Amino acid sequence: MKRVVIVGHQGQDGSLLYDLLQKKGYSLIGIEQTSVSGTDTEWDEPVDISDTGAVLRFIGDVKPDELYYLAAFHHSSEDNTPDNIILMKESYKINVASLVNFLDALARTSPKTRLFYAASSHIFGDTDTVFQDESTPINPNCIYGMTKALGLFSCRYYRNNYSLFTSVGILYNHESPLRRGTFVSQKIIKGAVNIKQKKQEKLILGDLSAEIDWGYAPDYVDAMERMLNSHEPDDFIIATGKKHTVRDFVKTTFEYLNLDWKEYIEENKYVIKKKNVCRIGNSAKLKQVTGWQPSVDFDEMIRLLIAAEIKLNG
């Protein structure tokens, strides 16, 4: 039985991955900042992921077969941006320094463990290419992208210098009912369902013309598991390769609920707190190496999100 550690197991991706691997019969340990839980009852002590010694002791004792590092410090385009110093310190602590604690602990005590790191399309910044692949220059222009890029480089460093199996997924937007309500996808879904149920009259959104590569989050955690079970470690883009606007998302959502979206949507570009950049991912390499394919398309993803929201609201 494989023993797997998921760092950040209570977030959207961590929760979905936990469910996927539990169904496969894996022995699981989930870590969230300092708390620990899971199906593996042999370890129930808190582990502070920012404490180098604590992580070293934990990895030395557990020696997992696989480790998924999904912990991240980030915010949506509609969240108020924290002070730059706070944002940089917290992003670096979670997205880089704590990751390096695990990488170094693996190199010292469990070199056969396979590690997955969740990077982001934000590492490409204001790219001038319509589609990005693994050869696209890394040129982040935000703190989140900068720290995610440094996390990717850290994985490459331990891969090349210590022969660790470290694979990096460069994730594009991916949605599920577990996505926080401040993200535009959930804001649209929740708003539309509330309007249908007469609980809300209007929905205010930012830039309806913003273009996004949207995928279904359960498909993306499937890609993570496939990457760690491939023959060689590498960096892979996880994306649909298809572009949709926020307007497309709104139109599809409201049509499914038999509503005319134009009667309920107000556009206010001041809602957006950070610049929207169109990035579309080319996941051909991932598909070729692992056989991965998205199982849910854009329209079906929205249908599933609506169904989950209606069930939640009774």
CATH homologous superfamily of 184-210+243-278+296-313:
UDP-galactose 4-epimerase, domain 1 (3.90.25.10)
pLDDT at residue 268 in the model: 86
Q: Measuring CA to CA, which residue among 206, 203, 171, 177 is closest to residue 286?
A: 171
Domain ranges of the chain: 3-175+215-242+283-290, 184-210+243-278+296-313
Digit-coded pLDDT (tens) for 209-264: 999 999 999 999 999 999 999 999 999 999 999 999 999 999 999 999 999 999 99
pTM for this prediction = 0.93
45 has a pLDDT exceeding 80: no
What digits encode the pLDDT tens for the residues 268-311?
Answer: 877 665 667 889 999 999 999 999 999 999 999 999 999 999 99
Those residues whose C-beta lies under 8 Å from the C-beta of residue 23, and which sit 6 or more positions away, are: none
- d(Cα 4, Cα 161) in Å, to the nearest integer? 24
- Per the prediction, the chain carries an average pLDDT of 92
Instruction: Measure the CA–CA gap between 112 and 163, rounded to whole angstroms.
Output: 9
pLDDT in tens, 67-88: 999 998 865 555 556 688 999 9
Q: Which CATH class is domain 3-175+215-242+283-290?
A: alpha beta
The residue with greater pLDDT, 59 or 275, is 59
